[in-house]
């Protein structure tokens, strides 16, 4: 055990002395002293051993940029990510400002802004054409395909790419279209 253990070189013929035992016990005790609560975890920090306080029920342990951290399986966001005129060609929608630049499964709330407008979403980089230019009202098989028969919000689940981006399009350019992230799983 290196870091920050102070090694006393053991060689054939070395005797286990009280001083060496006290040194080992002292170093072990300093590691144990970091753990103040049942469920705490120790890990190697930048210069010494660090304590990661126990998480809350349902959280999972994940690797941060340098150190381990607790994460939640589902993050509730309730964040508007688009408000304007919808595109009629596949267009990137960057969700990384809310979910981070990473792959995620995202639950969206979509309001197309006008009755009869079809909206489709897919993972960025997907080349499958879920949407028919000739008759968008009758297209099916998309990760999400909404044909608005009334003015209510619809929900969709879509995967993002590694940068947190999806693609989307609608059957007609419609002002007043909004997209909110309800929640996501990283």
Is the pTM here over 0.85, yes or no? no
pLDDT of residue 103 exceeding 80, the answer is: yes
Interatomic CA distance for residues 54 and 61, integer angstroms: 10
Question: The domain 75-185 is classified under which CATH number: 2.40.70, 1.10.3470, 2.60.120, 3.30.565?
Answer: 2.60.120
pLDDT confidence of residue 104 = 94
Structure tokens at 53: 């306080």
From residue 104, alpha-carbon distances to 6, 14, 52, 93, 101 in Å are 43, 56, 25, 14, 9
pLDDT tens for 128-161 read 765 555 554 444 334 455 555 566 778 888 999 9
Whether the Cβ atoms of residue 114 and residue 172 lie closer than 8 Å to each other: yes
Interatomic CA distance for residues 112 and 149, integer angstroms: 11
Residue ranges of E strands in 86-135: 91-94, 105-111, 118-123
Instruction: Give the torsion through C-alpha atoms of 170, 171, 175, 180, to 10 deg.
Output: -30
pLDDT confidence of residue 150 = 62
Whether the Cβ atoms of residue 180 and residue 69 lie closer than 8 Å to each other: no
Interatomic CA distance for residues 71 and 67, integer angstroms: 13
Within 13 Å, how many C-alpha atoms sit on residue 114's CB side?
A: 14
pLDDT tens for 8-40 read 666 777 777 888 788 888 888 888 888 999 999
Tell me the pLDDT band of 2, cut-offs 50, 70 and 90. very low
From residue 157, alpha-carbon distances to 144, 152, 178 in Å are 7, 17, 16
Query: What are the residue ranges spanned by the domains of the chain?
Result: 18-71, 75-185
Average pLDDT, integer, range 48-77: 89
- List Cβ neighbours of 154 (8 Å cut-off, separation of 6 or more): 109, 110, 111, 112, 119, 146, 148
Q: Average the pLDDT over each of 97-101, 108-112, 135-139, 151-155 and give the range with the smallest value.
A: 135-139
CA-nearest of 89, 72, 96 to 185 is 72
């Amino acid at each position: 055990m290196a870091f920050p253990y102070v090694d006393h070189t053991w060689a054939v013929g070395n005797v286990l002395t009280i001083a060496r035992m006290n040194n080992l016990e002292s170093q072990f005790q300093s590691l144990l002293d970091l753990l103040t609560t049942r469920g705490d975890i120790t890990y190697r920090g930048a210069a010494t051993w660090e304590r990661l306080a126990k998480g809350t029920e349902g959280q999972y342990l994940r690797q941060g940029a340098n150190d381990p951290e607790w994460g939640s399986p589902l993050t509730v966001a309730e964040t508007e990510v688009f408000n304007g005129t919808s595109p009629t060609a596949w267009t990137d929608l960057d969700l990384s400002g809310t979910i981070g630049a990473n792959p995620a499964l995202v639950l969206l709330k979509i309001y197309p802004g006008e009755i009869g407008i079809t909206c489709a979403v897919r993972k960025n980089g997907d080349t499958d054409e879920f949407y028919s230019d000739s008759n968008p009202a009758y297209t099916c098989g998309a990760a999400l395909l909404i044909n608005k028969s009334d003015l209510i919000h619809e929900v969709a689940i879509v995967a993002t790419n590694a940068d947190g981006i999806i693609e989307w399009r609608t059957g007609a350019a419609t002002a007043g279209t909004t997209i909110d992230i309800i929640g996501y799983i990283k």
